[in-house]
Amino acid sequence: MSFQVDWNAALANVSDNRELLQLVIDAFLTESAQIRDQISIAITNQDTKQLQRTGHTLKGIMHSVGASSWSHPARQLEELGAAGTTDGAQELADELNRHLPALLEQLRTFSVEQSN
Amino acid sequence: MSHIIVVDDALTDRTLISGLLTDELECHVETADNGESALEFIDARRPDIVLTDLQMPDMDGLELLESIKEEYPMIPVVLMTGRGSEKIAAIAMKAGATSYVAKQRMAEDLVSTVKRIIAATQEVMIPPQLMHRLEYSNCQFTLNNDPGQIGSVVAHLQSMLRCLPLGDESERIRVGLALEAALSNALFHGNMDTSQESPQPNEARRQELFRKRWNRKPWCDRRISLTAEISRELAKFVIRDDGNGFDTSALDPDFMSLDTERGRGLPLMYTIMDSVEFNDAGNEVTLIRHRVIEGPVTD
């Protein structure tokens, strides 16, 4: 599976303001690591409310940076949490952790190019 | 300069929303990452508008809204709703949120929504004290297909609504937004036939259709009729367009889901007004909002 950031969608989200997109991407790069940790903690603690909320947040911010096509596991984590279970959550978290580095790399590349 | 507080637990979305606002509006934006911090900000700074996410840890957006309505009823609250939050957003609209913006449509809807609310809070056309003395008014307007006329007539009627006890100032603004939504539907979906398009057009496409049609037949001959009856007991608005109407049997009368794909007009009307009734043809809507306090009216 190989996804690409939808840069048209990402730029549309910021009204074509590339400087703002860079700020949004930098925020995502900072925040996504924290959210991955929160998902991991939610699974360990079987905290379905936190799982639902963090899945929802990750899905939303992926949309903000044009990465909706990557957000399927996040949406499924949100749905599991909403259904009151963490069964299957670890597999989804593993799937996220496998694919997220490629997304972060694409976003970092944009951020570096924009800085230059 | 307007002062806006953005409340969202996601740093990415706080950055996005603040950037969109400061890029296009003359405003000062502060951010909070949870409801409790937001309340501290509000207490210290008294912002003009609060924009809040719904799903947050500890104090969520609905709880924040209830606290603001309790402590600072003059401050308009706009919800920012993500996919999956539609039901709770409908509950929050019923609980008194001024308006809402779908997160997936921030770039299209955020700034225009905030602009409308700022304009509504700053209207100074008629001395407000005079409108508190108004007992009864019944007026009829025939509007051209001019979005500017809609803004003007809504500002005028919103000022008259001061005579109707609605609980607090933000409720008057909410009724004005519902009226504006109904008039905009009459203009774009009704007279300009944008609802006949398939798939449903986005805002940019709707504006493009409007620019093409507003001065061409048959669209240019169509008008919007508005009857407004305002007293100390109720506000009743009847809005009729000259378009082809729509299939009203498909409407969800409870509007427990804020369906962002179909636009925000109908959900705003249904969640803010006490009664929303369409005629069979679907080209006339009657909106009613009653006073909210019991007992004799005092000055």
| Span B2-39, pLDDT tens digits | 999 999 999 999 999 999 999 999 999 999 999 999 99
Q: What CATH number is attached to the domain comprising B95?
A: 3.40.50.2300
pLDDT, mean of residues B33-51: 93
Predicted local confidence at residue B253, as pLDDT: 60
Q: What CATH number is attached to the domain comprising B259?
A: 3.30.565.10
Query: Do B252 and B115 fall into the same domain?
Result: no
Structural domain harbouring B193 = 128-290
B149 confidence band (pLDDT: 50, 70, 90): confident
Predicted local confidence at residue B200, as pLDDT: 65
A65 touches chain B (CB under 8 A): yes
pLDDT, mean of residues B259-275: 79
With respect to residue B37, please indicate whether it lies within any of the assigned structural domains.
yes
Check A30 against B55: CB less than 8 A apart: no
Query: Do B281 and B136 fall into the same domain?
Result: yes
Q: How many structural domains compose chain B?
A: 2
Last residue of a domain, one of B70, B104, B122: B122
Nearest C-alpha of chain A: how many angstroms from B17?
9
Residue of chain B with shortest Cα separation from A49:
B57
Query: Do B112 and B133 fall into the same domain?
Result: no
Query: Do B100 and B138 fall into the same domain?
Result: no
Query: Do B72 and B174 fall into the same domain?
Result: no
Predicted local confidence at residue B152, as pLDDT: 85
Last residue of a domain, one of B122, B143, B177: B122
Predicted local confidence at residue B198, as pLDDT: 64
Nearest C-alpha of chain A: how many angstroms from B54?
10
Query: Do B137 and B111 fall into the same domain?
Result: no
Nearest partner of B189 among B143, B246, B239, B147, judged by Cα = B246
Query: Do B132 and B273 fall into the same domain?
Result: yes
Predicted local confidence at residue B35, as pLDDT: 92
Does pLDDT of B163 surpass 50? yes
Query: Do B138 and B106 fall into the same domain?
Result: no
Predicted local confidence at residue A72, as pLDDT: 93
pLDDT, mean of residues A11-30: 95
Check B19 against A23: CB less than 8 A apart: yes
Predicted local confidence at residue B126, as pLDDT: 56
A100 touches chain B (CB under 8 A): no
Does pLDDT of B295 surpass 60? no
With respect to residue B296, please indicate whether it lies within any of the assigned structural domains.
no
Query: Do B72 and B154 fall into the same domain?
Result: no
Higher pLDDT, A92 or B88: A92
- What is the per-residue pLDDT across B168-224, written as a single tens digit (0 to 9) for each? 878 898 999 999 999 999 999 899 988 766 666 677 777 888 888 888 889 989 999
Does pLDDT of B298 surpass 50? no
Query: Do B161 and B179 fall into the same domain?
Result: yes
pLDDT, mean of residues A63-70: 93
Among B12, B20, B83, the residue with its CB nearest the CB of A61 is B12
B254 confidence band (pLDDT: 50, 70, 90): low
Question: Which amino acid type is present at position A101?
Answer: P
A-chain CB neighbours of B15 within 8 Å are: 20, 23-24, 26-27
A-chain CB neighbours of B57 within 8 Å are: 50, 53
A8 touches chain B (CB under 8 A): no
B82 confidence band (pLDDT: 50, 70, 90): confident
The pLDDT mean for chain B works out to: 86
C-beta atoms surrounding B266 within 10 Å? 21
Among A17, A61, A82, the residue with its CB nearest the CB of B13 is A61
Q: Are strands B224-231 and B2-7 parallel, antiparallel or unpaired?
A: unpaired
**How large is the angle between the packed helices A89-115 and A48-64, nearest 10 degrees?**
30
- Considering A45-54, B83-92, B262-271, the range whose residues carry the highest mean pLDDT is A45-54
CA-based radius of gyration for chain B: 19
Nearest C-alpha of chain A: how many angstroms from B274?
31
A78 touches chain B (CB under 8 A): yes
Residue of chain A with shortest Cα separation from B60:
A53
With respect to residue B297, please indicate whether it lies within any of the assigned structural domains.
no
The mean-pLDDT minimum among A59-63, B30-34, B95-99, B128-132 falls in: B128-132
B299 confidence band (pLDDT: 50, 70, 90): very low
Domain ranges of chain A: 7-111
Predicted local confidence at residue B249, as pLDDT: 75
A40 confidence band (pLDDT: 50, 70, 90): very high
A-chain CB neighbours of B12 within 8 Å are: 24, 27-28, 31, 61, 64-65
**Residue ranges of E strands in chain B:** 2-7, 27-32, 49-53, 77-81, 99-102, 136-143, 224-231, 234-241, 275-278, 284-290
Residue of chain A with shortest Cα separation from B58:
A50
Distance CA B3, CA A43 (A): 40
- What SS3 state is found at B193? coil
Does pLDDT of B256 surpass 60? no
**CATH code 1.20.120 for A7-111:** yes
Does pLDDT of B294 surpass 70? no
Nearest C-alpha of chain A: how many angstroms from B140?
39
pLDDT, mean of residues B50-74: 90
What whole-number percentage of chain B has pLDDT above 70?
89
C-beta atoms surrounding B141 within 10 Å? 17
Query: Do B201 and B241 fall into the same domain?
Result: yes
Query: Do B117 and B76 fall into the same domain?
Result: yes
Q: What is the ipTM of this complex?
A: 0.93
Among A15, A56, A65, the residue with its CB nearest the CB of B107 is A15
Among A12, A17, A57, the residue with its CB nearest the CB of B19 is A17
pLDDT, mean of residues B265-279: 90
Q: Is the peptide bond before B218 cis (omega within 30 degrees of 0)?
A: yes
Check B16 against A13: CB less than 8 A apart: yes
Burial label, A37 (beta-carbon count in 10 A; 0-12, 13-18, 19+): exposed
With respect to residue B298, please indicate whether it lies within any of the assigned structural domains.
no
With respect to residue B44, please indicate whether it lies within any of the assigned structural domains.
yes
- What SS3 state is found at B185? helix
Does pLDDT of B128 surpass 80? no
pLDDT, mean of residues B223-246: 94
Last residue of a domain, one of B122, B139, B169: B122
Check B15 against A23: CB less than 8 A apart: yes
A7 confidence band (pLDDT: 50, 70, 90): very high
B297 confidence band (pLDDT: 50, 70, 90): very low
Residue of chain A with shortest Cα separation from B53:
A57
Check A60 against B15: CB less than 8 A apart: no
